[in-house]
A and B are shown apart, each in its own frame.
Chain A
Amino acid sequence: MNILRIIEQLSEVDADVLGRFDSRRAVFKSLGNTAKMGALAAAPVFVSSLFSKAYGQTTTPSVVEVLNYALTLELLEEDFYKKMTAAGRVPAGAAAGAIATILKHETAHVKLLSDTIRALNGTPVTNVKFKTSAFPADYPTQLVVAQALEDTGVRAYKGQAGNLLGKMAGTTSLLQVALQIHSVEARHAAHIRGMRMQPAWIPASDSNLPAPLGPVYTGAIREDNVIQSNVNITSQLGTPYSANDAAASFDEILTMAEVLDASRAGGLVQG
């Protein structure tokens, strides 16, 4: 029984599967001990209880929770671009124009998500600010952070789509709206990457970058992943493809816990 394979398959369906297990390291540990003792026959029982714990006790986040999570990221981005504009290091012309366009979109996302949460009788989060001490003084490093925020946003929305499947606000499909934001974040990310002379799509090597960018491309499913639905893209499609093409052609999710981790966006929020 290959438990890692099972978890990998589950992660295709449930973005937060690893988050569910994360707080239950002890269960993993006892599973390992069981195997060591040679009581292999008991392993399936342990596996079964592992899953029932993971799924039995952890509730799926509510729609409002998902939207507030998205709103938190949008507020963080909006405040970052406001600070970036105020810092006055962005070259006038094309660069300033691009940052203004992106800021305008983030502000629109903040308004849309806040309005939607209110329409669902929820309370939108407010006052999320980019940590002052983490704000870079120089323009090139500001762009590094912008890339980190945008590529994190792409992965974060992707990670929550399953939780919005079939969810509505009146006659509006919340999944559809989330997808419409998701692809805007990807356009932003591509452009910021271009401003840094990086490829618009994410090469496998990005998963090995030092912080702050590296963690953006890691996680339970790293951006250099080459396996989709159990198909190894490099070797199982008839013609072989490079690991770089296989990794770049599919973006991957980040779970809520991963995004909010201190090594990623979570560490950029003013405490």
Chain B
Amino acid sequence: MADLADTSFSGRALRRRTFLRVASATAASSALVLAGCGNDDDDPTPVPNGSTGTLVLAGNDTGILNLTYLLAQIQASLYQKVVTTPPADFTAADTAAFVDMRDHEVIYREFYKSVLGTSAYDNGLTTALEFNFTTYTLTTRKGAYEAARTLEDLAVGAYNGLGRRLANSSYLRLLLKITSVKARHAAFVRDQAEPNSFAGPDVISSTGNQAGLDTIKTPVEVAKLLAPLVPVVLVADNLMTL
């Protein structure tokens, strides 16, 4: 396990509501959040979920792992929601598949949390972030698979874009062990949403210099795509320089 001590990421970037409101109104909010939150031990009450904080990912391996941690939290939460209240037209096989994928994502979430330790962005928060899935239709089989498809394809693109930004090769190895399982999830849910679309031209280019290659999403693109789902402003700019 690599040393995470080199990080400048503040696990308490989601602290006090008032502070964050000021910070998010400031152009240099990321610097302020990091600089300002390091020293607020006088008020250790974490922000409850639903707040409008800013989460700034650090420009290093810790920032990358916090992004994959957040993705795992979101995906675990989505699958859990569907497993808890399955669509009326879900078959037993559909439920079994969602339980499997839920379990995988929960394992990723807990694994990243364990790897990050006190560097996890939500370390110290008493309540986990709650994600907003209202843009998806989770009451039908088709809608549930389409939501899963959106997030799994996004995760594959995100992981493919993050690999080369990692400094530590053991993290690279770990990310890749997960990437291919996410690609398996993606292919499976795509096939369920639309038969034979496991590697359709919307994710694997048919022509040009990207022919036969899977999607890449930059960290900023990922943050933008996740924005409607997360109750905080996600800033991934620091990862772009890696």
Instruction: Give the B-binding residues of A (Cβ under 8 A).
Output: 12-13, 15, 94, 97-98, 101-102, 104-109, 111-112, 154, 158, 161-162, 165-166, 173, 175-177, 179-191, 194, 199-201, 228-231, 233, 236-239, 241-242, 245-246, 248-253
Contact = CB atoms under 8 A, between A and B. Distances in A.
A187 B187 contact: yes
B188 A200 contact: yes
A233 B107 contact: yes
B170 A179 contact: no
Contacts of A177: 213
Interface stretch (B15-23, B80-88, B172-180): B172-180
A237 B106 CA distance: 10
A182 B179 contact: yes
Nearest to A201: B184
Given A199-B100, A228-B177, 12 more contacts: A15-B173, A176-B163, A176-B164, A179-B176, A179-B214, A180-B160, A181-B213, A184-B212, A186-B187, A201-B188, A229-B115, A236-B114
B155 to A, nearest CB: 10
Contacts of A182: 176, 179-180, 183, 214
A12 B170 contact: yes
B173 A13 contact: yes
Interface of B: 1, 100, 103-104, 106-108, 110-111, 114-115, 156, 159-161, 163-164, 166, 169-170, 172-174, 176-188, 191, 195-196, 198-199, 204, 206, 209-216
B214 A187 contact: yes
7 contacts: A12-B173, A109-B212, A179-B164, A180-B160, A180-B210, A228-B174, A239-B110
Given A105-B212, A190-B198, A179 B160 contact: yes
Contact of A161 (B172, B199, B214): B172
A12, A15, A249: most-surrounded residue (chain B CB, <10 A): A249
A200 B216 contact: no
Contacts of A194: 187-188, 191, 198
B184 A229 contact: no
Given A162-B173, A183-B183, A201 B160 contact: no
A248 B108 CA distance: 12
A194 B161 CA distance: 27
A258 to B, nearest CB: 16
A245 B183 contact: no
B107 A184 contact: no
A98 B196 contact: yes
Given A173-B164, A183-B156, A191-B199, A237 B110 contact: yes
A13 B169 contact: yes
B161, B170, B178, B186: most-surrounded residue (chain A CB, <10 A): B170
Nearest to A199: B100
A106 B211 CA distance: 10
B100, B182, B184, B213: most-surrounded residue (chain A CB, <10 A): B184
A180 B216 contact: yes
Given A184-B213, A249-B103, A104 B172 contact: no
Contacts of A105: 199, 204, 212
B186 A248 contact: no
Given A161-B163, A201-B181, A229 B110 contact: no
A234 B174 CA distance: 17
A213 B141 CA distance: 33
Nearest to A221: B177
Contacts of B156: 183
- 10 tightest Cβ-Cβ pairs between the two chains A and B: A108-B212, A186-B183, A190-B187, A186-B180, A180-B213, A187-B187, A200-B188, A249-B104, A183-B183, A190-B184
A229 B212 contact: no
Contacts of B216: 176, 180
B177 A250 contact: yes
Given A183-B160, A249-B103, A108 B211 contact: yes
Contact of A245 (B103, B174, B191, B212): B103
Contacts of B100: 199, 201, 245, 248
A229 B115 CA distance: 9
A191 B173 contact: no
A177 B216 CA distance: 10
A191 B111 contact: no
Contacts of A188: 187, 198-199
B89 to A, nearest CB: 20
B177, B186, B206: most-surrounded residue (chain A CB, <10 A): B177
Nearest to B188: A200
B170 A229 contact: yes
Given A105-B204, A190-B188, A245-B104, A183 B1 contact: no
